[in-house]
Amino acid sequence: MKSRGGESHIRPEINRAGGWMKRICCLVMLIMGIHTGIEIDNCNIASAENRALLVGIGKYQISAVNLEGIDIDITNMTKIAQKMGFKREQIKIVMDEDATLNGIEKAFEEWLIQGTSDSDKVFVYYSGHGAYIEDKNGDEKDHLDEILVPYDTVVNSDDLLQNILVDDHIGELVQKIPAGQIVFMLDSCHSGTAIKSLASQDKFFPLTLSSRVFAEKGGNLGEKSFTIKEITEKCILLAAAQDDETAQASKEGSLFTLGVLKAFSDSTGFLTLKDIEDVSRKYILNNLPPEKVHRPNLMGNGKLKDINLIGWCGQSPSTEIPSSSSSSSSSSSSSSSSSFEAMNELISRRHFALDIWVKSNIQKLGDIQEIRFTPPQNGYVNIIEVAEDDEAITVLFPNRYHPENYVKTGGTITIPDQGDGFRLRAVEKGKTMLVVVLTDADINGYRDGMKAGSAMFSELSKKSRYKIEEAGAKGRLGAGYLFVEIR
C-alpha cells in the first residue's frame, strides 16, 4: 500500500479501483478506552514500593476554564517517570473526570500513603488550574491561600467555590507519605511556594471560597495557578512559576512540562533538579513573548537538589526519550522509524493485553496474508500497521469497506473479510508491526485519518494518536501486537 512516501510490503490486490496500503510487518492491535478490572492503576496496594502519582486536569466540570494540552503533559511526564526508574505499574495516573477532590485525596491516601515505606521514593506531578483564595487562618502574610482546582470544583448558590484542594491540606497529605524522599513538580499558576509545613498545627479549612477570587486569580483560559509553602525535610518542590507569575498551557503541552521534557531528552545520563530548573527556565524564555515568561522555582531540602534523577529509583531507565536537539540528525541513522518507536511506546502503556492472529508471521514475496481479531469485550477497535523503516502509520481497520469500528464481544474482525474487494499480498521484503487497540471511547482512525478521497485505508492522524495516548493515560487502554517479516 502506498502511504505518503512509502510502499507497503504487503499490497492489496483490489478488484475495483481505489485503495492503498503499506507493507505488513507487525500488526499491533490497540484496544483503547475499555475500563476493565485488570487495570494497572488499581489503587489496592499489595506491598510498599516506589510510587509515582501523575494528576492532569484539562477538562473541568466548569467547562469555561478547560485547558489545552494537559493530556500531552501526562504522556510526557509518564515518559519522564520511567526515565527516573519507575516501572509502568508503579505509575498512577488520575485525569480529568477522575481527578475530583475525592479522587485526588484517595490517590494520595491509597497509592502513596498506604503504598510506600520510609525506604521508598515518591514522585508527584500536577498539571491543571490553581488559584489564590482568602486566607482563613491568618498564616499567610499576603492573606491569601493557594488552591489546586479539581475537576468537580463548582460555584454554589452563595457564589462560593466548593471541592477545592487547599495548600494546607496538600501539606497534610504530603506529611503523611512515609517515603524517605519525595519529588513534587507543579505545573500551575502562582506555584512558587505550595507545600506547607505542619510542624505546629492541626489545620482545617472549609472548602467553600469566593468564586470571584477564582475568576480573577486563576480562571483565565490558557492559564494555570497555584503555590506551596515551607517544604518538609524529605520533600523538594519544582514549581512552574513564582508566586506572582502565571504558568502557560498550549495545544502542544504546558511550557514548563515541555521544558522538563527537554532537560530529560538532552541528558547524557546525569540530571539534577537544579539542572531541570535551569533548562526549563531557558526553554520558557525562548518560547514565550516577554510578557508571558514565567520562571520555574526550586525549593525544599537542599540535599535533594543535586540527586541524579536518571534512574533515581535504582531501576535502569525503562524508556528512552529522543533528544530534541538531535532528532533530525539521528533519524537517518536509526534502523527503526520514529513511528515504529511511537507504536512501541503506545503498547508499553497498555493496561490489558490482546491476542491477534495472522495467517503467517514469516512470508515470502507473493504470499497472501490474512489478519483476525476477536475482541474480549465491547468497544471501538483500531488495527494499525507500521513498517520498521517508514514514518507513515496506516489504519487497516476501520477502512473503506468497514468504516464503523464499534465491535461487540465475540464478533471477529477479518482483514480482508468476505466480500471485500482486495487481498493482502507480500510485495516487499522487510518487517512490519501490527497493532490492535480497543477502547470505550469513540476513536475511529479511518474517519479521522488522512486519506485521499475514497481511499481504502487512511494514515493515522495526530488527533487519533492523542486520543489513544489519553486512553492509556486514563488506564483504559488494551493492546496486542505481533510482527510479520517478509523475506
Measure CA 107 to chain center.
17
Cell 510487518 locates to 25
User: What's the whole-number mean pLDDT along residues 90-117?
Assistant: 93
- Look over the chain and give the mean of its residue pLDDT values, rounded to a whole number: 74
pLDDT in tens, 449-487: 887 777 888 998 888 888 888 887 777 888 888 888 888
Residue 243 has pLDDT above 80, yes or no: no
224, pLDDT greater than 80: no
Question: Long-range contacts made by residues 359-362, C-beta under 8 angstroms, separation at least 24?
Answer: 360/484, 361/482, 361/483, 361/484, 361/485, 362/484, 362/485, 362/487
Of the candidate ranges 122-131, 172-181, 241-250, 342-351, the one whose mean pLDDT is the lowest: 241-250
Flag whether pLDDT at 193 surpasses 90: no
Domain boundaries, the chain: 10-36+337-486, 51-304
Quick check: 42 pLDDT over 50?
no
Distance CA 19, CA 458 (A): 9
Q: Which amino acid is at 339?
A: S
Asked whether residue 61 carries a pLDDT value surpassing 80, the answer given is yes
Report the pLDDT value the prediction gives residue 431, as an integer from 0 to 100. Answer: 84
Is 407 or 41 the better-scoring residue by pLDDT?
A: 407
353 forms beta bridges with 479
Is the pLDDT at 398 greater than 90? The verdict is: yes
Least confident of 160-169, 245-254, 368-377: 245-254
pLDDT of 126 reads 94
In this prediction, residue 114 carries a pLDDT of 93
Using a 10 angstrom Cβ sphere, with 0-12 exposed, 13-18 middle and 19 or more buried, the burial of residue 402 is: middle
For the question of whether the overall pTM of this predicted structure is more than 0.85, the answer is: no
Query: For cell 503498547, what's the residue?
Result: 347
User: Is residue 185 helix, strand or coil?
Assistant: strand
**pLDDT value of position 315:** 64
- Helices (H), ranges, 244-300: 255-266, 273-287
| % of the chain surpassing 90 pLDDT | 26
Q: Which segments of 188-255 are extended strands (E)?
A: 208-210, 223-224, 235-239, 247-248
Give yes or no for residue 404 having a pLDDT over 90: yes
pLDDT value of position 353 = 82
Are the beta carbons of 50 and 79 closer than 8 angstroms? no
C-alpha separations of 208 from 136, 141, 165, 211, 372 in Å: 11, 21, 10, 9, 54
**CATH number assigned to the domain with residue range 51-304, chosen from the 4 options 3.40.50.1460, 3.20.20.140, 3.40.50.300, 3.40.109.10:** 3.40.50.1460
User: Which amino acid is it at 154?
Assistant: V
CB of 436 closer than 8 Å to CB of 381: yes
State the pLDDT at residue 56: 93
Query: Quick check: 6 pLDDT over 50?
Result: no
Residue 441 per-residue DSSP state: S
Identify which has the larger pLDDT, 12 or 295.
Answer: 295
Does the pLDDT value for residue 39 go beyond 80?
no
Q: Is the pLDDT of residue 38 over 60?
A: no
Mean pLDDT of 231-260: 80
Lowest mean pLDDT among 28-32, 77-81, 145-149, 158-162: 28-32
Among 13-27, 191-205, 339-353, 445-459, the minimum mean pLDDT is found in 191-205
Which of 65, 53, 63 is CA-nearest to residue 189? Answer: 65
Give the model's pLDDT for residue 215: 33
Binned at pLDDT 50, 70 and 90, residue 367 comes out as confident
